[in-house]
Amino acid sequence: MAVNFAKAASAQSVHVLHGRDPYVPKERAEANLMVCWECPDGMFDLEKVRCLDKRCGCDLKRKTRWRTAACPRGHWDNRKNEMTTGTNGEKVNRL
Ligand code: SF4
């Protein structure tokens, strides 16, 4: 499980190296964590705030903030945070 977390952290560092914001907006991170709290598959360890899925095992307080991270079962999707163009050409968060 530590290996999974290290892989996720490594993917995050690539964003940093390329000067991109490695974090999703706070609202999206909170929404991801809420999904975990009510995990449809019962994979949320309430005491440790970790995912019990063997493909993950991560600290969800941190992982839910990372732009490159994903739920191993597809229950949350950080791509929803990507910016899009509004009707007046302004950048709008699709969240
Ligand atoms: S990351 Fe996915 S599988 Fe793990 S606790 Fe959260 S919602 Fe459940």
pLDDT tens-digit series, residues 23-54: 999 999 999 999 999 999 999 999 999 999 99
SS3 95: coil
Place of tokens 């490159």: 68
Is the full-model pTM beyond 0.75?
A: no
Taking the C-alpha atoms of residue 77 and residue 41, their distance in angstroms, rounded to an integer, is 16
Task: Kindly tell me if the per-residue pLDDT of 17 is higher than 80.
Answer: no
What phi-psi label fits residue 85: left (phi over 0), alpha (psi between -120 and 50 degrees) or beta? beta
Radius of gyration of the chain (CA): 14
* CB-based contact 29:22 (threshold 8 Å): no
* CB-based contact 8:50 (threshold 8 Å): no
Atom number in ligand 1 closest to CA 40: 8
- Nearest residue (CA) to ligand 1, atom 4: 51
Atom number in ligand 1 closest to CA 45: 5
